[in-house]
Amino acid sequence: MLDEIKEIERKALEELAQASTESELDLWRTRYLGRKGAFTQVLRGLGTLPKEERPAVGKAANEAKVRLEGAYKARLEEVKQAELQKAIASEAVDVTLPGRPQEIGRLHPSTQTLREIVDIFAHMGFQVYDAPDVETDEYNFQLLNIPPHHPARAMQDTFYTTDPGVLLRTHTSPGQIRVMREFAPEPIRVVLPGKCFRYEQVTARSEFMFHQVEGLVVGKNITMADLKGTIVNFVRQMFGPGRKLRFRNSYFPFVEPGVEVDMDCILCGGKGCRVCKYTGWLEIMGAGMVHPVVLKNGGYDPEVYSGFAFGMGPERIHMLKHRIDDIRFYFSNDVRFLSQM
C-alpha cells in the first residue's frame, strides 16, 4: 500500500509538470485530489487493511496529499504567470514602428490649371465671375450673335434639356452677357472659369465635358493692342519667356475681328513635329474684339464702348505644358494619371 501511494505521488508530480494551462491543471486536480480522485480511493480502502497498518498508510497518504496540494499551488502560479506573459507579449504595441500614412487627396490637374490661369489674370487686375453651367439658348447663342439656324451652331453640338430653350452651355461666352448686363455701363475686367459641355464623340482630342476660361474686358478706348498685350503677358507667365505668338485671323460670331492665338510648338520649337502636325504652331485660344451687337445686347453703347474677349481650354493648356497626348486621361479617373500631376 505504501508503495502504491509513492507510485501515485510520483505519477501525479510527473503529470503536474506536464500540465501547462489552467484547464489542464483543473483536470489534474480532480484526478488526484478530488472527491473521486486517486487519494480518496486509497483513504477509502484503509478499512480493508489490517488495523496496525492503517495509521502508517493513512499518515503517508495524507502527507502525500498535502505535498501534492502544495505542488499544485506552485504549478498553478507558474502557469498563470506564463499565460499572463504570453498575453502581454501578443498584445504588445510597438510604439517605435513607423506610422501608416493617411492617403490625402490632391487637386485635379484641371483645377490646378484653372487656378493657375485665374491667378495670372488676377495679377493683371481681372476679377472672377461665376456664371451658370445650365444656360438658355438665348444666352448661349442668340445674344452672342448666333441666331437660330446660324451655321456656327453646327460647330458646337449641344446637349439640350427637356425644358425648351434650356441647354448645357457649350462655351463660357454666355457669361459675357451676364457680366455686362450686371455691370453696364461700368468698365469690366473679368475672367469666367467653368465647365462646358458638347455632344461629341469622345476622342483623344475632344471630351463631352471640359473646362474653359473666358476673359472679357469692356471700357472706353479698348483696342486690339490691349488684347494682344494681355495675351502675350499671360503666355509668358504660363509658358515662360521667349514664346513666340501668332494672331491668326479667324471667325467667331460674337467678335469682330476674331483671331485664333497660336504659340510656337513647345516640343519642336517651331521646326515641325507630330504634336504641332508639322506646322510649328499650337493653337491655344480664340479671341477677338467684342462684336458691336454683343456689346449692345450686354447694355453697352458700341459707339462709346469697346472690348475684347478670349476663351481658352485649361485641359488643352495643361496637355501642351505636360506633353499629354490624350484628353481622356483627365476625366476617366485613373489615379495613376491624376496622382502624377
User: Where does this chain bind ligand PHE (CB under 6 A)?
Assistant: 171, 173, 214, 252, 255, 258, 286-288, 309-311
- 3-class secondary structure per residue, the chain: CHHHHHHHHHHHHHHHHHCCCHHHHHHHHHHHHCCCCHHHHHHHHHHHCCHHHHHHHHHHHHHHHHHHHHHHHHHHHHHHHHHHHHHHHHHCCCCCCCCCCCCCCCCCHHHHHHHHHHHHHHHCCCEECCCCCEEEHHHHCHHHCCCCCCHHHHHCCCCECCCCCEEECCCCCHHHHHHHHHHCCCCEEEEEEEEEECCCCCCCCCCCEEEEEEEEEEECCCCHHHHHHHHHHHHHHHHCCCCCEEEEEECCCCEEEEEEEEEECCCCCCCCCCCCCCCCEEEEEEEEEECHHHHHHHCCCCCCCEEEEEEECHHHHHHHHHCCCCHHHHCCCCHHHHCCC
- Minimum CB–partner distance for residue 334 and ligand PHE (Å): 27
137 vs 214 by CB, closer to ligand PHE: 214
42 vs 173 by CB, closer to ligand PHE: 173
- Minimum CB–partner distance for residue 285 and ligand PHE (Å): 7
183 vs 337 by CB, closer to ligand PHE: 183
Cell numbers for 34, please give them: 478530488
- Minimum CB–partner distance for residue 163 and ligand PHE (Å): 23
- Minimum CB–partner distance for residue 255 and ligand PHE (Å): 5
19 vs 120 by CB, closer to ligand PHE: 120
- Minimum CB–partner distance for residue 338 and ligand PHE (Å): 25
192 vs 238 by CB, closer to ligand PHE: 192
- Minimum CB–partner distance for residue 271 and ligand PHE (Å): 28
- Minimum CB–partner distance for residue 320 and ligand PHE (Å): 17
64 vs 261 by CB, closer to ligand PHE: 261
214 vs 264 by CB, closer to ligand PHE: 214
